[in-house]
Amino acid sequence: MASLAGDPVQRGFVASLRRPSTNITGVALTSESQMTAKRLELIREALPRARRIAVLAERTINQTQVEEAERAARVLGLKFVVVPVSEDGYDRAFSTMRAEGAEALVVLASTTFSRDRMPILVLAERYRLPTIYDLREMAAEGGLMSYGPGVSTLSQRLAAYIDRIFKGAHPAELPVEQPWAFTLAVNLKTAKALGLTVPTSILTRADQIIE
């Protein structure tokens, strides 16, 4: 079996990235803890006056990303609010962010959040919360910013794995691949709707500007 997922070692799907030793392999987002710190830096750069940043986390799954974000927040002098999604769903999570006085939001990388990106995008707009995501598709669909791989790129790599398996390769012998190319996308339409001016320092580094 080939799959696209978060850290497969943390989730117990494979023994290691180099040798899965199971019938599962594919593409994993295991570099996401470092990417989370980078996203926190970017949203801080976009909103230099912001001091309280919320982080939307998938309960029990995003712990490594949360820890990395906490370290980055301390370095940046930011107050850090972790908001796990619970049985009450996204409405409750965004209500909590408002109650905590969050000025911006980092959505952690998660296959669940990717699946549920439309309700997250709608709520971020409703609460007027500047948000950075992992997938550029989320910026294209209305998010303020994104930094990470694209779904299409990951899907292409996964398709290559499926092709190899169909040709006789055994999943247990195929190392789990990690994404190597990351894109910074900025949605200027969303920035305008939020009354924000995106700094030139970010625009000059952006790989995709949505107008």
Domain at 190, CATH number: 3.40.50.2300
pTM attached to this predicted model: 0.74
Do residues 113 and 57 both lie within one domain? yes
pLDDT at 161 over 90: no
Q: Three-class SS string for the chain?
A: CEEEECCCCCCCCCCCCCCCCCCCEEEECCCHHHHHHHHHHHHHHHCCCCCEEEEEEECCCCHHHHHHHHHHHHHHCCEEEEEEECCCHHHHHHHHHHHCCCCEEEECCCHHHHHCHHHHHHHHHHCCCCEEECCHHHHHCCCCEEEECCHHHHHHHHHHHHHHHHCCCCHHHCCCECCCCCEEEEEHHHHHHCCCCCCHHHHCCCCEEEC
- Whether residues 21 and 75 share a domain: the answer is no
Q: Are 111 and 162 part of one and the same domain?
A: no
pLDDT at 86: 72
Q: How many structural domains comprise the chain?
A: 2
The boundaries of the domain holding residue 18 are 2-28+151-173
End-to-end CA distance of the chain: 40
Q: Are residues 49 and 101 in the same domain?
A: yes
Q: 191 and 169: one domain?
A: no
What is the C-alpha radius of gyration for the chain, rounded to an integer number of angstroms?
Answer: 18
pLDDT per position as a tens digit, 39-98:
989 999 999 999 999 999 887 666 777 787 888 888 888 888 889 887 668 999 999 999
Residue 124 sits in the same domain as residue 39: yes
- On whether both 90 and 108 belong to a single domain, the answer is yes
My answer on whether 65 and 137 are in the same domain is yes
